[in-house]
Amino acid sequence: MLVRGRWPNDEFGAKERKAAELIRGGHPISIVADFDFRRLLEKGRPAKVMDRVAGEPIEWLNAPSRKNFEKAATISGPLDFVHTALGRVEQGFLRHKLFGKSDEAVCALCGRRLPLSLMVAAHIKSRSECSRMERLDAENIVFGVCLLGCDVLYERGFISIGPKGKIHTASVHGSKALARLFAIYRGRVCPAWKGTSAKYFEWHLVRRFQG
């Protein structure tokens, strides 16, 4: 058990990050807030176990079984990966496929190495448009992108991936702020592009990219 309290400035989150690492490695650790733990000791009242550690839902750290993933994948349409139980199962399974037991990953769009709490397993082809077989194609249907803008830019069609993985940015908007933002993608190639995922990226380029 980790009792989560207020950290000294030089130890901010260190124990919590270590707990996340251990949970990712298969150790059953419960995270309890200090005031709940104190209430348990002083009044004998049950302490509520927290559902997040180091910024991530604990369900993302425990690799779901293939069976549970397939159950989630049977649900068609959009599936909120944070606020629904099946969404968290699906995201947890796909994250383990992409990131393994690492606590950091490189965004396939901007190239920044970031903590996993700032990364997401994003569907290359919009999940709502995927067939069941495509949703089950865990090795190819998602790629790792960051939540610092890349995920929403791709989802809204401001960024897309062309042949051989070349990153394209939309030119139809006259926003100077967007132009400055797009500069970080200039000349970049998406490492997630491969022969088996190319059809999904092509779908996005044709159907979602704003050009």
pLDDT per position as a tens digit, 47-87: 888 888 887 888 888 888 899 998 988 888 777 776 677 88
Whole-number CA gyration radius for the chain: 19
104-106 and 113-115 strand pairing: antiparallel
Q: How far is CA 199 from CA 63, 110, 134, 167, in A?
A: 27, 22, 11, 15
pTM of the model: 0.80
Selected residue with higher pLDDT from 194 and 39? 194
Token code pair at residue 103: 């606590």
| Confidence tier at 17 by pLDDT (50, 70, 90) | confident
- Extract the runs of DSSP E, i.e. beta strands, from the chain: 2-4, 31-33, 52-53, 56-57, 104-106, 113-115, 119-123, 142-146, 159-161, 167-169
